[in-house]
């Protein structure tokens, strides 16, 4: 298969080379060793950056989850017109360039942006509040940008859900909230997890949004790698950062995936 060869040469091999380069002790490629990893794990700053990046991924995913479920519930309850409308609302931002969407958030959160101007006009805020270049602004912007990745799998698993089970719960007297919590969400969890993985991965690596909405003060892994590789020209350390970052994402993805599969088997067995 030609694609397999292509991926071997230009995807698998580059990652192997990345690992090899991370094993050089100095930027001059003289001696081999684990110095770069030692540097990473003993340096509070680098560890903090990794932790912040993963935390950002979790926060964005947590914000997306309820939004995606609410959208999905309104979608499946509606007729064909409402469904088409919601699907287009989801696809439109998904297909529009992320730089453009990030730019929109700069306008929305800016000093003279919509939020500040509205709050000032309503007299709720006395002076403009800084929203851009804050952690909260970054989480909200990323949640909007990545929401489609979560909404589509959630809608799909809601569509596949057997209505009879929900009806049975209703006939047995379960309230709507109870039906959602004990029937609908557990049965659609694999879809939500699939979406969560995509949102998590996409928001941790979203260089453009992180640097423009987060600003220079919020340094996350992608900017850290870029600065080490292009700014400082320390390739072995940049490679080590990339390896640690990739492995962290892989481990989290693997754990979530395994959880989803165990869940699926549980449902099949029941």
Partner 1 sequence: MRLRPSDLVYEGAVWAVAGFAMLLLLAPTVVVLITSFTGGQTLKFPPPTWSVRWYVELAQSSELIGAGWTSLKLATFATLACGLLGTAAALGIARSRSTTARLLDSLFMSPMVLPAMAFGLALLMVFSVLSVRLSLWTLAIGHVVICTPFVIRMVSAAVQQLNPALADCSFSLGASRWYTLRRITLPLIGRGVFAGCFVAFLASFDHVPVSLFLSDARTEVLPIKLWQILEASLDVRVAAVSGVIVVVTLVGMLLAERLFGLAANVQESR
Under the binding rule (CB under 8 A), the answer on residue 54 touching partner 1 is: no
Under the binding rule (CB under 8 A), the answer on residue 106 touching partner 1 is: yes
Contact residue for partner 1 among 49, 101, 142, 193 (CB under 8 A): 101
**Structural tokens at position 96:** 């529009």
Under the binding rule (CB under 8 A), the answer on residue 250 touching partner 1 is: yes
Residue 200: CB partners within 8 Å, gap ≥ 6?
A: 57, 58, 60, 61, 249, 252, 253, 256
Contact residue for partner 1 among 144, 146, 188, 203 (CB under 8 A): 144
Q: Which stretch binds partner 1 (CB under 8 A): 32-40, 122-130, 175-183, 259-267?
A: 175-183
Contact residue for partner 1 among 137, 190, 214, 222 (CB under 8 A): 222
Least Å distance, CB 86 to partner 1, is 7
Under the binding rule (CB under 8 A), the answer on residue 6 touching partner 1 is: yes
Under the binding rule (CB under 8 A), the answer on residue 134 touching partner 1 is: no
Q: At CA 210, angle to CA 208 and CA 215, rounded to 5? A: 105
Residue 129: CB partners within 8 Å, gap ≥ 6?
A: 116, 119
Tokens 């007729």: give the residue. Answer: 79
Q: Which stretch binds partner 1 (CB under 8 A): 10-18, 33-41, 44-52, 261-269?
A: 10-18
Distance CA 242, CA 236 (A): 10
Distance CA 196, CA 180 (A): 19
Q: Which is nearer to partner 1, 18 or 183 (CB)?
A: 18
Q: Which is nearer to partner 1, 184 or 270 (CB)?
A: 184
Instruction: Show the binding pattern over residues 113-132: x = contacts partner 1 (CB under 8 A), - = does not.
Output: xx--x---------------
Least Å distance, CB 43 to partner 1, is 19
15-34 binders of partner 1 (CB under 8 A): 15, 17-18, 21
Distances (CA, A) of 19 to 42, 67, 195, 210, 244: 19, 39, 29, 26, 10
**Structural tokens at position 223:** 């900017």
Judge contact between 27 and 234, C-beta under 8 A.
yes
Q: Which is nearer to partner 1, 114 or 267 (CB)?
A: 114
């Amino acid at each position: 298969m030609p694609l397999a060869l292509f991926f071997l040469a230009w995807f698998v091999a580059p990652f192997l080379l990345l690992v090899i380069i991370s094993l050089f002790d100095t930027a001059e490629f003289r001696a081999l060793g684990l110095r770069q990893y030692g540097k990473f794990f003993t340096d509070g700053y680098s560890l903090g950056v990794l932790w912040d990046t993963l935390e950002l991924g979790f926060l964005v995913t947590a914000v997306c989850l309820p939004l995606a479920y609410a959208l999905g519930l309104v979608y499946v309850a509606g007729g064909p017109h409402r469904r088409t409308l919601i699907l287009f609302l989801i696809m439109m931002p998904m297909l529009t360039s992320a730089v453009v969407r990030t730019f929109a958030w700069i306008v929305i959160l800016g000093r003279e942006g919509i939020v500040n101007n509205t709050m000032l006009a309503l007299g709720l805020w006395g002076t403009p509040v800084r929203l851009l270049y804050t952690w909260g602004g970054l989480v909200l912007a990323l949640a909007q940008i990545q929401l489609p990745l979560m909404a589509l799998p959630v809608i799909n698993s809601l569509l596949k859900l057997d209505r009879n089970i929900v009806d049975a719960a209703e006939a047995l007297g379960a309230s709507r909230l109870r039906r959602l919590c004990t029937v609908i969400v557990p049965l659609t969890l694999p879809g939500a997890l699939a979406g969560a993985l995509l949102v998590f991965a996409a928001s941790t690596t979203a260089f453009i949004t992180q640097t423009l909405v987060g600003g220079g003060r919020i340094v996350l892994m992608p900017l850290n790698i870029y600065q080490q590789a292009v700014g400082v020209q320390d390739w072995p350390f940049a490679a080590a950062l990339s390896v640690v970052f990739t492995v962290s994402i892989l481990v989290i993805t693997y754990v979530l995936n395994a959880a989803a599969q165990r869940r699926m088997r549980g449902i099949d067995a029941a």
